[in-house]
Amino acid sequence: MDPWVWSIVLLLVGMGLVVLDIFVPSGGLFAFLAVCAILAAVWLGFSHGSATGVAVLAGAVFGTLLVVILGLKFWPSTSLGKRMLLQVPSSEDVLPENDPRRVLEGLVGRVGRAKSKMLPSGIVAIDGRTFDAISEGLPIEAGQRIRVVEVRGNRVVVQGLPEEPPGPSEKDLLNQPVDWENLDLRPPPLA
Splitting the chain (191 residues) into consecutive groups of 10 residues, what average pLDDT does each group show? 81 87 81 90 87 88 86 78 76 70 84 90 90 88 91 87 66 69 75 61
What one-letter code names the amino acid at 91?
Answer: S
Whole-prediction pTM value?
0.42
At 173 the pLDDT is 65
What is the architecture of the domain spanning 100-160? Beta Barrel (2.40)
- In percent, the amount of the chain with pLDDT more than 70 equals 89
Residues 6+ apart with CB under 8 A from 58: none
pLDDT digits (tens, 9 = 90+) for 141-175: 999 999 999 988 888 899 988 876 655 555 666 76
Q: At what angle do helices 50-74 and 29-48 cross, to 10 degrees?
A: 150
Average pLDDT in the chain:
82
